[in-house]
A = this chain, B = another copy of it.
Amino acid sequence: MFRMMKFFEYNWQVRDEWFNWCKQLTPEDLLKDRIGGVGSILYTLFHIIDVEYSWIRAILGEVDVVVQFNDYNTLEKVKSLSDTLRNEILKFIQSNPDESCSKLVSVSWDEATYTRGEILHHIVAHEIHHVGQLSVWARELELSPVSANFIGRDFSSI
């Protein structure tokens, strides 16, 4: 089956590999403003997490929790935020089969309504897109980026 869970597992595994990859960088390199995307490497990871969580809470009908980058401006804090929110998101995904994807969702930051399915596709594509940007910045730092391959991964750990 072609299921959303596989893409979430993929994104989370790749994200954790980027967290490990980031350990070789100085705080200055992590926070340096770069051309394209949303700016720095660390802010990109924070932004991916923030966007994923906001959309999932919107699907759940919960009020958006605004997280401020100033409170999470180190690699350890962003990784910890990722881990904490992932537990919550995992519970949602495991309890919401793909069949409920046509339900309509309202969000606080936009007047339109979207289907659950549309939002889940958006979350998946959003992270892969930003990770593509990280891969260019890695090469600019003369470092090999994390592999983006979907095939050949072992997803049993999640």
Contact = CB atoms under 8 A, between A and B. Distances in A.
A150 B118 contact: yes
A138 B77 CA distance: 31
Contacts of A150: 118, 121-122, 124-126
A2 B120 CA distance: 8
A135 B37 contact: yes
Contacts of A28: none
A98 B139 contact: no
B131 A149 contact: no
Interface stretch (A4-12, A59-67, A82-90): A4-12
Nearest to A127: B128
A45 to B, nearest CB: 14
Interface string A3-22: 11011001000000000000
Contacts of A120: 2
A101 to B, nearest CB: 5
A158 interface: no
A98 B133 contact: no
